[in-house]
Amino acid sequence: MFSGDLRIGRLAGIPISIHPLWLLIVGLITWSLGSAYYPDEVSGIAPIAAYALGLASALLLFGSILLHELGHAVVARRYGVQIEGIELWLLGGVAKMKGAAHRPQDELRFALAGPAVTLLIAIVFWAAAALTRSAADALVALLAYQALINTAILVFNMLPAFPLDGGRVLRAILWERSGDIEQATARAARVGRGFGYGMVALGFFGVLAGAPGLLWLTLIGFFLVIAGRAEETGIELQSTFRGLGLRRTMAVPAATLDADTTVAEALRDSFAPLGYHAFPVLEAGHPIGLLNLQQIGLVPSDERDSCLVGELADRDPSLFVDEDVTVEELVSRRGFRRHNRAIVVCRDGRVGLISATAMSRALEARRMLGESAQTAQASEAA
């Protein structure tokens, strides 16, 4: 249901935002540290002080993650990549880049910039913890936690598991050796999926062995598998559709919904008979957002006759592109990767819709055509 990030400011000219679910993980970290870590580390600490330190630790942790992503963003911007912003979310943070590295050397620089910042942060906290050993236990515990967690993040993030930074380093090396980014991405993604499945298995075994805390490994493992596959597909799409305009692959004119249509009417007249997952929403003939089936599912059934489509539509600006954008550029955009579709505003006023699912089907069809051509050539050669 969340339609966009919450903008909180700018840093080095780069917009900073938080995903609403970020508040959930901050709360969980605060509760975990306040209920267990600080009471164990600081003798006789009052509960309110323990939870206050837990909150401070959570905010310092995400401050470190923010600086990590800023390292990626600043270096990428230096080499000509446009930065849309930095988002803090459930599993950490991400620097949203419009475009990608054009050379393996640049990819290597982008990938190492964030870990270099985290390494510096870890060193600073380790040094501060050592220098304040005779200070109050609460301060020492806070600094020690930051030193440990940043070290853990650094080690984990440098695993050669795409799309972690270590996986991107691996891809840059493979790209440099082969000269083929698609091949390098596929190989790095396979390694990443291997790590992901290993973490999933380890998490399940940990839970069965009575260590429920290892369930986090399962969640992270699933993330690596899914994210790695998405990155691999994105690169393959860019390679296959390089230079093609959106009119070659999008549905235009798209089936749309009027903003003043009720949710019940949209279900009955559009979603059910047409079987589409999402529709652009128009107001006075102009597209204002997108409505999908999941959003409708969040509306109570007794409210669907009064709730209007225009009130529910996702109005995220990253959903909209113009028809001059190439498919290659589109699939590299973070907005498209996030929503898996885009609303195309054509010069003639028509509205189109392009989805990752449709593009994947087109990609599969092109693979089949290629296989058929190879088979025919082999038959002729025989």
CA–CA separation, 314 and 34 (whole Å): 37
Look at the block and give the residue holding tokens 């910039």: 113
Instruction: Report CA-CA distances (Å) from 308 to 3, 264, 296, 314.
Output: 16, 9, 11, 13
Which residues is 10 bridged to in the sheet? 15
* Beta-carbon contacts of residue 295 (< 8 Å; ≥ 6 apart): 1, 312, 313, 314
Contact 288, 281 (CB under 8 A): yes
Structure tokens at 40: 């164990």
| Of 187, 181, 123, residue with least CA distance to 160 | 187
* Beta-carbon contacts of residue 120 (< 8 Å; ≥ 6 apart): none
CA–CA separation, 185 and 259 (whole Å): 42
Reduced to 3 states (helix: H, G, I; strand: E, B; else coil), residue 223 is helix
CA–CA separation, 220 and 226 (whole Å): 10
Write out the H or E segment, with its range, that includes residue 8.
strand 6-11
Contact 182, 170 (CB under 8 A): no
150 burial (CB, 10 Å; 0-12 / 13-18 / 19+) is: buried
CA–CA separation, 193 and 171 (whole Å): 14
Residues that are catalytic: 69
Torsion of CA 61, 67, 73, 76, to 10 degrees: -120
Look at the block and give the residue holding tokens 């700018």: 10
CA–CA separation, 286 and 284 (whole Å): 6
Its sign, for the CA torsion 45, 49, 54, 56, is negative
